Amino acid sequence: MKSGVWHQLGDKSQLVAYEQLENGVGVGVAVSARDLSYSGAEEHTAKYRALGAEIIFDPQYYLPAYSNNKLETYPFSSLRLSAQRLGKITDDNLSVLAKSLEEINRKTGSIAIVAPAIIYEANRPDILSINKKLHAAAKKAGDALGIPTFGTVILGSSTNKTTDQINSCLADILDIKADGWYYSFEFGDERIPSTHAEVYRCAVAGLTLAQTGRPVFHAYAGPMALLAPAFGCIAAGVGHSQNIWQFKRERWEPPQGQGGGGDAPSRYFSKDLWGTIVYPDEFTAMPVALRNRILCASPYTAALTSAGDSPLKRWDSNKHLIHTIATAVQPIFAQRTARLAAAQAIAILDVAIKTHADIAVTGLGLADKTSSYQYNWKLALEALVAQHKDGFDYLELIR
């Protein structure tokens, strides 16, 4: 698996990913069955691969009873069943699943099978048992195609309240014979996770997975991709949409209400903030010196100046965000060790913390709680490095 930032599809972003790849941004694409039809997946992945990108196909099985019109185009859609029914899935149906996974992964040219899996919940040994069966079916597909099979590990909020709880859950999960891990963590209801303890636990779980010696893909990482290489991941999925900046089960539940974001003003992602500000409102409210610090060039914002008088189109804002995160994080993935990656991530966070402090001095309060997480992420990484010395040493030993 190519190391670095992958495009995590999930919100009409297939063309965005294509454009980024054309500009040399991103090393792969994680295709979402929830958001791209069978024929669309085949069509787009061929284009991505032509640009040198690697592909993985996420069957989006997390809440398997959920379906939508995109998912229904896949041959395995009839096997989207409740956990209770999946517990009784027959060998014949598992064979059907294996065959359909083989087919779609062949057509998309995937470099690894992402095993279907339900979100892990506390005190639910049945889920482990189901996921083992689903993994075995995926493994058949992987073996048939001669590619690795990644175990999908989504630690639901009921399993990740304490590190002991996580360890207990991972002890069972790690018995699965996976060739890699497709990992994500369900946080609280925030736009970007900000709680130090939660981010720390997410990192500890990732570090544990990395110590298996198998590649770990941090799925739905969003801006947290900055932290992924520091806890041993070799790749992270980044998309423009807030919906996929972390694992949110709401995406796989029946929609509530109208949704949408209407005509909210564009957000501008700045490396020096490691976050977004409202453009132009918040941007132009700052002193010019701060505006100059916050601006970071990308092909999508070349016209922007510290005057803040150029428009920032919504899609340019999205593309700029991915470009900025990817170009900042890709060199961190190239670090020789996770420790060095942690140091580099902390350095970026230090800059962001300082910039936010300087903004706060001006009396300007940013919307979206943009300054709420950088300091806590730094604390989480520092705690990880200090308290898991053996884990980092072991990663170096098995490298």
Partner 1 sequence: MNYVLPIDDVRAAYPNFTIVKALTPSAQKAAFHAKDSAGRDICLKIISPDYNIDRLGREILALQKITHPNIVRLIEYQYHVSTAGIKHYMVEEFIDGSDLEVLLTGKMTAAVAFPLFAQIADGLSELRKQDIVHRDIKPENIRVRPDGKPVIIDFGVARHLGMDALTRTSQGAGLGTPLYFAPEQYNGTKYDIDHRTDLFAFGTILYRAVCGEQPFLRPGMTDRAQLQDAVCNSADHETRPDFLALSASAQLLLKKLLSKDRAGRPQDASQVAMILRKLS
Q: Which residues sit at the interface with partner 1, rule CB under 8 A?
A: 125, 167-168, 170-171, 174-175, 177, 208, 211-213, 390, 393-394, 397-398
Tell me whether residue 18 or residue 394 sits nearer to partner 1 (CB atom). 394
Q: Is 158 or 212 the residue whose CB approaches partner 1 more closely?
A: 212
| CA–CA distance, 24 with 51 (Å, rounded to integer) | 9
Least Å from the CB of residue 166 to partner 1: 8
Query: Is the N-terminal amide bond of 280 cis, ω within 30° of 0?
Result: yes
Closest approach, Cβ 393 to partner 1, in A, equals 5
Q: Which residue, 309 or 396, has its beta carbon nearer to partner 1?
A: 396
Q: What is the DSSP string of 213-247?
A: TS-EEETT-GGGGGTGGGGT-SEEEE-SSGGGSSB
Compute the distance between CA of residue 3 and CA of residue 243 in angstroms, rounded to an integer: 24
Structure tokens at 356: 């936010």
In angstroms, give the least distance from the CB of 230 to partner 1.
20
For the chain, the helix, strand and coil percentages under 3-state DSSP, each to the nearest 5? 50, 10, 40
Contact 352, 290 (CB under 8 A): no
Closest CA to 191 of 308, 252, 269: 269
Q: Which is nearer to partner 1, 171 or 289 (CB)?
A: 171
Rounded (10°) CA dihedral 244, 164, 114, 21: 40
Assess contact for 142 and 179: CB atoms under 8 A.
yes
Handedness of CA 112, 113, 118, 121 (dihedral sign): negative
Q: In this complex, which beta carbon is closest to partner 1, that of residue 114 or of residue 166?
A: 166
Which one, 250 or 393, has the nearer CB to partner 1?
A: 393
Shortest reach from residue 370's CB to partner 1, in Å: 35
| Minimum separation from the CB atom of position 170 to partner 1 (A) | 4
What is the smallest separation between the CB atom of 87 and partner 1, expressed in angstroms?
15
Which residue number, 70 or 388, has a Cβ lying nearer to partner 1? 388
- CB of 167 vs partner 1, minimal distance in Å: 5
Name, in order, each residue with C-beta under 8 angstroms of 345's C-beta and a sequence gap of 6 or more.
226, 227, 229, 230, 332, 381
